[in-house]
């Protein structure tokens, strides 16, 4: 009977050993998967950091471009006012010159008529 108990205990030990070996094999596979997941996680984190850095740079570039465009719009408005101010005397001169020409034309016509009747 002691031999049967010994054999039964040995069978149980071999079953436990087989189970332990299967669990260790599964654990090794899980460790490999976990390490590959950690590597992929690090890679994804690096890509995310690069994306965030690019987004920040793009935001700064857009801000700078907006400021430049606003400055150009302001300068354009100032120049437009200056051009209008510079053109105003020329417009006045042109209108006055037209009036003087009309007066001269009428005066010349009157003088011509007077010379013809003398």
pLDDT digits (tens, 9 = 90+) for 66-100: 999 999 999 999 988 888 777 777 777 888 889 99
Total-model pTM? 0.46
Domain count, the chain: 1
Output the pLDDT for position 91: 75
Domain-embedded: residue 104: no
Output the pLDDT for position 1: 54
CB atoms within 10 A of CB 28: 10
Output the pLDDT for position 72: 94
Q: What is the pLDDT of residues 30-53, one digit of tens each?
A: 989 999 999 999 999 999 999 999
Gap between the Cα atoms of 77 and 81, Å rounded = 6
Domain-embedded: residue 81: yes
Domain-embedded: residue 56: yes
- Whether 60 has a pLDDT exceeding 90, the answer reads yes
Domain-embedded: residue 107: no
Domain encompassing residue 25: 1-85
Domain-embedded: residue 79: yes
Domain-embedded: residue 49: yes
Domain-embedded: residue 30: yes
Share of the chain above pLDDT 90, in %: 47
Domain-embedded: residue 4: yes
């Amino acid at each position: 009977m002691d031999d049967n108990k010994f054999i039964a205990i040995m069978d149980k030990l071999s079953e436990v050993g087989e189970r332990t070996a299967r669990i260790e094999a599964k654990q090794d596979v899980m460790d490999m998967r976990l390490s590959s997941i950690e590597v992929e996680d690090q890679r994804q984190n690096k890509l995310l950091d690069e994306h965030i850095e690019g987004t920040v740079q793009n935001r700064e570039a857009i801000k700078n471009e907006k400021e430049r465009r606003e400055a150009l719009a302001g300068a354009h408005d100032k120049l437009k006012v200056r051009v209008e101010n510079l053109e105003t005397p020329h417009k006045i001169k042109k209108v006055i010159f037209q009036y003087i020409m009309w007066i001269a034309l009428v005066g010349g016509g009157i003088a011509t008529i007077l010379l013809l009747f003398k």
